[in-house]
A and B are shown apart, each in its own frame.
Chain A
Amino acid sequence: MSAEQGSGSRIVSWTGRFRERSLKALPPEKLLPETQPSYVASWIYVFGMGSIAALGYVIVSGCVLALNGPAWYHVSAFGHFINSTHLWSVELFFMFMVIHLWGKFWMASWRGGRALTWITGVLAFVVSIVTAFTGYLLQTNFDSEWIAFQAKDALNAVGVGAWFNVANLGQILMWHIVLLPLAVGAVVVLHVLLVRAHGVVPPLEAAETDSQLRNLQLRDAAGTLETGEGDLS
């Protein structure tokens, strides 16, 4: 499109506008940064990535189980091992996610227009809980049989028991391997993009007079800043 070429010309196509808006919200160097603010220096910051890694193993082990069906692990030693990795990656996923949540709470990470990041994080936690619950129903063992009997009451009491029938293996299988993973995936991707777009929240009570910011102000004042080429503001 010629409209895209040359500075100053307006982009009119929907695609072009979408691209420009996306790039403005999340330029590549923000999406995949090579530096982080100096205050990003604590072990508490690794648990978000830990959750993502654990989710990766949840998905991979789940795919192997899906290829063989829910009853496979009862009859195959390898299947049982894969089932165990699925269980433990889920346990690790939740452990890391909860530590991540605690950390973000004590940092009040919703500050500075990051409320939606916090909200999508909580949503990811909630949807993951529902997904894990459907997984427990697919064990096709004594535990899942009992959960199917007991959990129906809460679901029936709120009127969703017919569409979320915990004793219907086929229905719950679809929730667990189609609908809910799509939801978890979408929410997690959105959450991560929001984190990257907004950057990591600065410390509480940080001020322009902090030495971490003062040097830069001096440089600003001295006029050593790069020219505003490509400035989007």
Chain B
Amino acid sequence: MVAQGIFLGWGQFTIQLGNLIVIIAMVVLFVLALLLPFPGGRGRR
């Protein structure tokens, strides 16, 4: 076996660093998508 992962845990709950990063990135993208102003295409009609 080569690499050992980094695991963060609170009691019964543990999460591997790679998974945590992916999940945080997903939540951040979601929040940004809600908050950032959308560059409006020119309205018509």
Contacts and interface: CB of A to CB of B under 8 A. Distances in A.
Please determine if A and B sit in direct contact within the complex, based on CB atoms under 8 angstroms apart.
yes
Contact of B29 (A35, A91, A95, A216): A95
A98 B26 contact: yes
Chain A interface category by residue count:
10 to 19
Contact of B38 (A41, A47, A95, A215): A41
Chain B interface category by residue count:
10 to 19
Contacts of B6: none
Contacts of A79: none
A95 B40 contact: no
A42 B26 contact: no
A43 interface: yes
Interface string B2-45: 00000000000000000000100110011011101010110111
Contacts of A216: 45
Residue in B1, B40, B45 with the greatest tally of chain A CB atoms within 10 Å = B45
Top 10 A-B residue pairs of the complex, sorted by shortest distance between their CB atoms: A43-B33, A44-B33, A41-B38, A95-B26, A99-B30, A42-B38, A43-B36, A43-B38, A102-B30, A99-B29
Given A41-B38, A44-B33, A215-B45, 18 more contacts: A38-B43, A41-B40, A43-B33, A43-B36, A44-B30, A44-B34, A47-B29, A47-B33, A95-B22, A95-B26, A98-B26, A99-B26, A99-B30, A99-B33, A102-B30, A103-B30, A103-B33, A142-B1
5 contacts: A42-B34, A43-B33, A44-B30, A95-B29, A216-B45
